[in-house]
Amino acid sequence: MKKILKPLSLILAVVAVSSVFTFAPSAAVTNDAIKAKQNEISGLQTLLQEQSAASEEARKRLEEIKGDKEETEGKINELISTIESLDAAISTTQALIDTYNEYIELKETEIKGTEDELSSQEASLIEFLRYDYESGSSSIKTIEFLIDSASLSDFLSNIQYIGTLMDYQEHLIQNLENTTTKYEGQKYDLSVAKGEQEEYAAILNGQLEEAEKLKSEALEYVAKLEADQLEYESALKESEETEKELAAAIEKAREEEAKLIDEETRRQEEIRRKEEEERKRKEAEEAARRAAENAKAANADKEASEKAKKAEEHAAAYGDGYLWPLPTDEWFSISGWFGYEPNPISSGIRFHKAFDIAAHKGTSILAAADGKVITAKYSSSYGNYVVILHSDGYSTLYAHASKLLVSVGDRVKQGDVIALVGTTGQSTGNHLHFEIIQEDGRTREDPAIYFPKMTQLHINDSSRYNYLNNPRKKTYKV
């Protein structure tokens, strides 16, 4: 049994080994870790295949045992039937033997009577011969007896007497011979009857002993099969439990593998995103540099200057991890800055916790970074607004849209169009209210931190920038 079933301790060893490949969430995820987890899964699958084969072998052996049991039990039933038949035959034979006993008893009684009859006849014959001798009935004395006859009639009478004696003698001898013959026949019949009785008894007893022996052996074999069956059933149960544990270990390892792959994928995507941002930034800087050179060479040509400005804005649109939320090839201006300013809705001073970016109605609003939409609805203050949660825990908010183009749960890529500029909610004109929110969901950061070049390019868009902003605050908690 040990050769076909894997011990449960093997599973514990596998689990112990697998713990080597378990990584803390803060640990760096690498392809080596993923490869190690895949090797672990492969090893577990190999064990599961071997365990499944062992279970199948045990099931096959159990079927063979059950077949042997059924066949042996059938033979036992046949033997029982044979024994019952023999029992019936023995009963019949016993009755026959009893009849033989009665017959033998009668024969013995008959023989005893014949023996008595023989003894009587022998005695009669001996008595007659003695009488014959004493009475002169021998051959010599018989002649003398006839000569001594007194008359002819006496002679004839004597002759008749002698003949009668001779007939009687012959009769006695014949009876004795007949009785002897009958006695010998009776003795022979008795011997035959006893022999047949013993032969029948010996045959049936031998058959009965053989049947009982076979029955005993079959019962012992069935008992062995039942013990084997219990052993294999127990082993099969243990093997199936081991299979379940292996399957659970494989499932857990696969979940861990998927988590590692997901983390590695996100890490690689982040690397690629930053590389792409860097490439675009460098391209934009190079384009801006070339545009500036072209503009300078064209002696401040207006068209070249505008192109240079657009190129600069395009370069400035790729801030530190974020994309400017409006297209740079369409008109916009920063109409509201992060910090204290006059309240445009009512009198007094307020702390403005975002950038207000004026633009034409219907201008596309772009996702500043990859993420998941967690809010897309209307409120009395923000109007139509969207909130996107990013992988670093930060989120960005886009308010006062004329139309929303995404729904809660949507995943968006950096630069995807998520809404259109409008003036819904508490607004004095078409613009985008853009906020950058820290992980706690309450603290807002100054977008100028992430878009310093864009800030410098548009610093003169609104005089509100310098109103009560010295010294400027970089964050504000709601």
Q: What is the CATH number of the domain that holds 411?
A: 2.70.70.10
Instruction: Count CA atoms closer than 13 A to 358's CA, side-chain side.
Output: 10
Of the candidate ranges 159-173, 186-200, 316-330, the one whose mean pLDDT is the lowest:
159-173
The answer as to whether 309 is a domain residue is no
Pair (249, 341) in one structural domain: no
**Strand-strand pairing, 383-389 and 355-359:** unpaired
- Encode pLDDT of 141-161 as tens digits: 556 655 666 666 676 676 676
| Domain end marker among 211, 236, 257 | 257
Q: Does residue 341 share a domain with residue 229? A: no
Instruction: Give me the mean pLDDT over the 38-63 stretch.
Output: 86
Examine the domain organization and report whether 338 and 438 are in the same domain.
Answer: yes
Tell me whether residue 342 is in a domain.
yes
* Residue 11 located in a structural domain: no
- The Cα–Cα gap between 143 and 136 comes to 9
109 and 216 share a domain? yes
Give pLDDT tens digits for 8-37: 555 545 544 454 444 444 445 578 888 887
pLDDT bin (cut points 50, 70, 90) of residue 125 is: low
CA angle 231/233/239 to nearest 5° reads 105
Final residue of a structural domain among 242, 257, 272? 257
Q: Identify which of 429, 419, 430 has the alpha carbon closest to the alpha carbon of residue 361.
A: 430
Query: How many Cβ atoms from other residues are within 10 Å of residue 418's Cβ?
Result: 23
Q: Tell me what percent of the residues of the chain surpass a pLDDT of 90.
A: 24
Instruction: Answer yes or no: do 231 and 115 share one domain.
Output: yes
pLDDT score for 404: 98
* CATH at 128: 1.10.287
Percent of residues, the chain, with pLDDT higher than 70 = 79
With respect to residue 285, please indicate whether it lies within any of the assigned structural domains.
no
Domain-located, residue 122: yes
- Euclidean distance between CA atoms 100 and 115, whole angstroms: 21
The answer to whether residues 119 and 241 belong to one domain is yes
* pLDDT exceeds 80 at position 279: yes
Based on the domain organization, do 220 and 325 belong to the same domain? no
Same-domain status, 337 and 252: no
| 287: in domain | no
d(CA 409, CA 304): 44
Rounded mean pLDDT of 192-207? 79
| Torsion sign (Cα): 308, 314, 318, 322 | positive
CA–CA separation, 341 and 473 (whole Å): 12
Q: Are residues 327 and 250 in the same domain?
A: no
Q: Indicate if 251 and 329 belong to the same structural domain.
A: no
Total number of domains in the chain:
2
Q: What is the pLDDT of residue 281?
A: 81
Regarding whether 355 and 251 lie in a shared domain, the answer is: no
The whole domain housing 435 covers 321-477
What global pTM score does this model have? 0.40
Instruction: From 257, 277, 303, give the residue that closes a domain.
Output: 257
Q: Are residues 184 and 111 in the same domain?
A: yes
pLDDT tens digits, 417-444: 999 999 999 999 999 999 999 999 999 9
Taking the mean position of all CA atoms in its chain, how far away is CA 36? 26
**269 found inside a domain:** no
Q: What is the mean pLDDT of residues 82-105?
A: 74
